[in-house]
Amino acid sequence: MAGNFKIEFTLKQHTPLIHFQHDQAGATLRATELKPKLDKFLKKQIPTFKGDLDYKIKITFENKNPSTNPNRFLYFSQEHRMITFTGLKVIITSFDLEILKKIKELFGDFLLITNFGTRSSKGYGSFSLDNQNNIDAILKKHYSNVYKLSFSVNNDNWESKIDNFHKRIKAGINFGGYQKSLLFKYMCNSKNIRWEKRKIKQQFPILAVGRSPIDCEIIDENKFRYIRAMLGLAEINEYNRGNDQVKIKHQTADKKQKIERFQTPILYKVINQSVYLLPDDSYKTIMEKTFEFSYNGKAFDIDTPSQTEFDLIAFLNFVETNGLIRRV
């Protein structure tokens, strides 16, 4: 195609891409992932864009550097490896000059609010345009509430920093120093609601070993909610001994509506030495749902919070008062 029908972007990679085909010569940022995400973004920004947008994407790179170590998250297959690239370029071609114009205008914004590959919500696969400016302003243009970790990160520690932070706010930390979940504290102190972990230990006493449970002053002794689902839902949770598994299943008669997994509603975006938190309202789709918790042939049901009981932004503002994040 002639130059008028092609635009080219040079990308800067901030975190490795976890790829399931790392050993293939052409394994890179996949156009089959990038285009649907870019389509969705463009249609949101420009409502007149409908259907399958008519443009093609080609991705090239100078060098590919797959990790020689297995991925540190053992629940992924060994085919998944982390890859970094140099000289990564995205080339977009189209005969529709209006689409090309809008992509040229908005592609930098798109990269700043999007990650790619496996575990993208936890910061992996973060890219931006090379020499991107006005990062804070662009993020605030697309998100009403933007936060940033109150400490800087580097190439060696960003994974552990995000992992530890997310554990701190969601489930708490039991190893290397005990720290109670901030979600637990928020729901106890602000909503007088107990979390599901206390209910689990009441129903399955064999799991109630070790540290004595921390409780809060509460008006309704039977007011429990499955609150950790608000920050991400896994199919199986493990408690205490590694072989003790409490299975969690969404209770619904409609199999098409069955919720099996739910990605955290906070996108962690690593840019240079900063980690941004970009929260959305996807958690509202699993509010007021009933889940079954089962262990050793016994089971009980518990509901997720209602919209009057939990608000993600209010919770993040609570986290900010603890000094872990700050509003941008």
Q: Is 195 left (phi over 0), alpha (psi -120 to 50) or beta?
A: beta
Average pLDDT of every residue of the chain:
87
Per-residue pLDDT of 297-327, as tens digits, reads 999 999 999 999 999 999 999 999 999 999 9
- Is the predicted pLDDT of residue 64 greater than 90, yes or no? no
| Between 213 and 293, the higher pLDDT residue | 293
- In the DSSP assignment, the letter for residue 287 is T
| Between 173 and 251, the higher pLDDT residue | 251
- Is the predicted pLDDT of residue 192 greater than 80, yes or no? yes
Quickly state the pLDDT bin for 1 (edges 50, 70, 90).
very low
% of the chain surpassing 90 pLDDT:
61
Quickly state the pLDDT bin for 246 (edges 50, 70, 90).
confident
Can you give the pLDDT at residue 214?
62
Report the chain's terminal Cα–Cα distance, integer Å. Answer: 42
What's the mean pLDDT in 123-146? 96
What's the mean pLDDT in 172-200? 85
Can you give the pLDDT at residue 172?
85
Can you give the pLDDT at residue 175?
65
Ranges of beta strands (E only) in the chain are: 6-13, 17-19, 56-60, 63-66, 81-86, 89-93, 127-129, 147-149, 194-195, 224-225, 236-238, 245-250, 266-271, 274-279, 290-295, 298-303, 325-327
Report d(CA 149, CA 116) in Å as an integer. Answer: 21
Q: Are 269 and 112 in contact (CB under 8 A)?
A: yes
- Is the predicted pLDDT of residue 25 greater than 50, yes or no? no
Per-residue pLDDT of 28-63, as tens digits, reads 788 999 999 999 999 999 999 988 899 999 999 988
Report d(CA 283, CA 262) in Å as an integer. Answer: 8
| Between 109 and 26, the higher pLDDT residue | 109
| Between 304 and 219, the higher pLDDT residue | 304
- Is the predicted pLDDT of residue 289 greater than 50, yes or no? yes
| Structural domains of the chain ordered from first start | 3-133 (3.30.70), 158-327 (no CATH)
What's the mean pLDDT in 164-186? 86
* Helical H segments across the chain, by residue range: 31-45, 97-112, 135-142, 158-170, 182-191, 196-203, 312-321
